[in-house]
Structure 1
Amino acid sequence: MKFWRPGITAKLFLAILTTCIMLLFATHWAVRISFEHDFMNYIKRGNELRLQMLTDTLADQYTQHGDWQFLRHNDRVIFQILRSFDRENEHDENRPGPRPGGPERDMGPGPDDEAGPPDRPDMPPHGWRTRFWVVDQNNKVLVGPRSPVPADGARRAITVNNAPVGWVIASPVEKLTRNTDINFDRQQRRTSWVIVGLATLLAALATFPLARGLLAPVKRLVDGTHKLASGDFSTRVKPGSQDELGRLARDFNQLASTLEKNQQMRRDFMADISHELRTPLAVLRGELEAIQDGVRQFTPESVTSLQAEVGTLTKLVDDLHQLSMSDEGALAYQKTSVDVVTLVEIAAGAFRERFASRNLTLSLDVPESATVFGDPDRLMQLFNNLLENSLRYTDSGGQTRVQLMTRDKTLILRFSDSTPGVTDEQLQRLFERFYRTEGSRNRASGGSGLGLAICLNIVEAHGGAIHAAHSPFGGVSITVELPLEREKTRDV
């Protein structure tokens, strides 16, 4: 049996709607409690006022008659007094809302009570919501129902010449008893529930589009993530806002762009590797087939040619291994205080014969010493790669100049060669893997295209920077910046 599993939109809708319903019910009960409390207080105050009026009137009647004989077992007098109160307040008849009174009351002897006279007039319609008794100074009941006088009832003394001659006692008001009040309370209760129902419906109608609107950016991100996971790195999402979801969408686009770029670089990398391996392997195969078919004799010269191609393959594999290790940070760096001037002079001395064989001039412009905190073997590899790059890509009769200087506690090492130069676009790609500036990928004129990429990793491992620019001699100028030893913390 499958159960319904709501999505995030349904969950948010239900969460907001549930919160609204809880607030509505809490507000409803708070209003109901407040209304009932205030309504009961209103009734109590009305009863107290009428008791006071009745007490004062009975005191006047007692003064006129001199005793209670006029009232004893004579409910008609009480009824006439109460009706006189109503005639004095006839202007309240047309007021809206609940009026203090009605055709029914729950006080005194009712129409069916045995205590009252059978021909008495209708009970007073207004105001009275409790039973009341009139007793004399001896606490004998003069007027009132046959039920016992409540001990906790409200007492009002009937005073004549500052002496109590009787009391008016009313039963305590604990709940609504008159039909008019009960009907009014029920009407208010029904109205309150109708308002709660309509407010709930309105909340549902407003919450659904609100939930959809709030989650629209999330849905776009979900759809984009599904496409990204399926390999579509060209997908992008519209930020749409400047809040956290907008920033998340922009970060998602940046991630997709980076993955797309990395995918393209991986494809190019695999294509470049296959191309670089295919050339020497094709040469080796051709040489071996020629020897096998007898077209070419197996001589020391042919062996030397085969060894040259094997050396090319070995150099390519070594460069790939060095590059992969430097990318992963797996190259062993044993750093110490290194005089860069000494390393540069050693590297230049090793390349002078090769530069001279191609009619190239190699010149140095270096100070007496410049110390950095680094790995001398990796720095020597860096300088050898840069000199090898200049040797391969400088026309015969040109020059390469190596300058070393310090500026702002930074060692600046610049390798500048002569023509041919490169374009601005090519300058931006010199440190890409397998990138060479010649038009064809003939290995006779260029190396594996990994030398400068390895140089970049070595420089970054030493906390420095490397960049390329146009040389004043018409070629390329590669600048290496390394922090001097006193600025580099030895925590490696």
Structure 2
Amino acid sequence: MPIDVDGRVVGHLKLTPLPRLHGEEDVAFVRHQAWVAAGAGGVALVLALLASVALGARVLRPLRQVTNGARRLAAGDFTARVAAGGGEIGALAHDFNRLALALEQASQARRQWIADISHELRTPLAILRGEIHALEDGIRPYTPAAVASLRVETERLGALIDDLYQLALADVGALAYRIEPLDLGELLREAAAGHAALLRERGLDLQLQLPDEAMPIEGDAQRLSQLWDNLLANAARYSDAGGRVRVQAQRQRASWLIHVDDTPPGVAQADLPRLFERLFRGDASRSRSSGGAGLGLAICKSIVTAHAGSIVAAPSPLGGLRISVCLPRSEDSP
């Protein structure tokens, strides 16, 4: 075959068959090399199979653990955990353990929630049942005072059920909010005026420190009024006579910060992060028989969250509890 470059033959390519092996030594050498190559290939194949089996077992072992753990979770065993190593499978195991922990905590919270609700509902019902039996048996005379006592217990039971209903609506996102321009300062003044008589009756002094300017926000007037009512009622309920309740508001760069402070008794530092949990009440000094069911602050948190704000609890400079609410500020006056 000629090799042509620019029309000029510069060489030729010739293909010749391999020479045949005629000598016995040459034939033996070729056979030996073929057996050596076949043996090396067989050994390499066996080693590759053993390595693949070992690697597969190492990879599949954590996957089997995750699979077994998932089956235990599906069966209701939320204590299931798997050993976590490195790599992507280790990351999967870490995520599985976090999921299992979250499910375990949710299950415990659900059981505690049911037990707490049962307890809260049982108490007023037991009181009502006892008073009604006393009236029926003639142990207690049927007087206006007896009827008033029954009415108080029914109102307390009704308030508890209403609070539970509001929290249930908030959980499913069905709690209606009518957002409109508002003056936050006006809402705070109205709430303070509405609780002034109750605070005086309990021997508490109310201090209201608000900016002279308007405090525009976007929010639901009814829900925000409920927020301040709950916070002021909580401060009035858990402050000793002779103390005071102070409401302060200050302007920040993009929000309004409101502090509701009260005087002793305070709340233990360890209980502060749990104050917004449902049905949680701190130490006995702030969980008297005259106290609520522990749903007020949970409702407050739900309202503040719906307004894209934040609410935290901290020790008050007055010696009691400080509830700080931060709400986004609006530039448009209502």
What is the TM-score with the length of structure 2 in the denominator? Answer: 0.88
Residue 235 of structure 1 corresponds to which residue in structure 2? 80
Q: Percent identity?
A: 45
Which residue number corresponds to residue 223 of structure 1? 68
Corresponding residue for 1:382? Answer: 227
Deviation for aligned residue 1:214? 2.3
Q: CA deviation at 1:186?
A: 4.5
Return the offset for 1:246. Answer: 2.0
- Whether 2:326 is the aligned partner of 1:481: answer yes
User: 1:436 touches 1:446 (CA, 8 Å); kept in 2?
Assistant: no
Change (3 A) 1:202 1:296: same
Secondary structure (helix, strand or coil) at the match of 1:403 reads strand
Aligned match for 1:263, one of 107, 113, 118: 107
Alignment pair present for 1:362 and 2:216: no
Contact 1:277 1:313 in 2 (8 A): yes
Measured at CA, do residues 477 and 247 of structure 1 come closer, stay the same or move farther in structure 2, by a change above 3 Å?
same
Counterpart check, 1:285 vs 2:129: yes
Confirm or deny that 1:329 pairs with 2:173. yes
What does residue 309 of structure 2 align with?
464
What amino acid is aligned across from residue 306 of structure 1 in structure 2?
Answer: L
Higher RCO (CA 8 Å, separation ≥ 6 residues): 2
User: Residue 349 of structure 1 is aligned with which of 181, 186, 193?
Assistant: 193
SS in 1 for 2:82: coil
Tell whether 2:192 aligns with 1:339: no
Structure 1: unaligned runs, 5 residues or longer: 1-153, 155-171, 488-492
Letter in 2 for 1:355: L
For the residue of structure 2 that corresponds to 1:469, the secondary structure is: strand
SS in 1 for 2:291: coil
Alpha-carbon contact 2:251-2:257 (below 8 Å) kept: yes
Query: Quick one: which amino acid aligns to residue 257 of structure 1?
Result: L
Corresponding residue for residue 411 of structure 1: 256
Shift in Å at residue 328 of structure 1? 1.9
- Specify the alignment match of 2:5 in structure 1: none
Query: 2:293 maps to which residue?
Result: 448
Residues 169-184 of structure 1: pairs in structure 2 closer than 5 A: 173=17, 176=20, 178=22, 180=24, 184=29
For residues 443 and 319 of structure 1, the distance between their equivalents in structure 2, rounded to whole angstroms, comes to 19
Deviation, 1:277, is 0.5
Cα gap change, 1:440 to 1:476, in 2 (>3 Å): closer
Distance of 1:259 and 1:360 partners within structure 2: 45
Q: In terms of mean alpha carbon deviation, does 252-261 or 419-428 score higher?
A: 252-261
- The equivalent position to 1:248 in structure 2, one of 92, 111, 115, is 92
Structure 1 residue matching 2:218: 3-state secondary structure: strand
Residues of 1 paired with 2:19 and 2:73: CA distance?
69
TM-score (norm 1): 0.61
Q: 1:468 & 1:292 partners in 2: Cα distance? A: 47
**Equivalent residue number for residue 152 of structure 2:** 308
Assess if the C-alpha contact under 8 Å between 1:393 and 1:445 holds in 2: no
Match of 1:39 in 2: none
What letter is aligned with 2:191? A
Higher CA-based Rg: 1
Q: How far off is 1:182 after superposition?
A: 5.8
The answer to whether the 8 Å contact 1:272/1:434 transfers is: yes
Quote the Cα distance in structure 2 between the aligned partners of 1:452 and 1:222. 41
- The CA distance in 1 between the partners of 2:248 and 2:138, in whole Å, is 54
> How many residue pairs were aligned?
316
Offset at residue 409 of structure 1 (A):
1.8
Deviation of residue 345 (structure 1)?
0.6
Q: Return the letter of the residue paired with 1:232.
A: D
One-letter code aligned to 1:217? P
- The Cα of 1:442 is off from its aligned counterpart by 7.0
Gaps spanning 5+ residues in structure 2: where?
Answer: 1-13
SS of alignment partner, residue 359 of structure 1: coil
Structure 2 CA distance for partners of 1:175 and 1:377, relative to 1, 3 Å: farther
Change (3 A) 1:308 1:386: same
Deviation at 1:177, TM superposition (A): 6.7
Deviations 1:377-421 (A, max 9, x none): 111111111111111111111110000111222200100000101
Cα separation, 1, equivalents of 2:240 and 2:285: 17
Q: Name the stretch that deviates more: 228-237 or 175-184.
A: 175-184
Q: Bigger CA drift: 450-459 or 222-231?
A: 222-231
Deviation at 1:262, TM superposition (A): 1.2
Structure 2 equivalent of residue 213 of structure 1: 58
Alpha-carbon offset, residue 175 of structure 1: 7.6
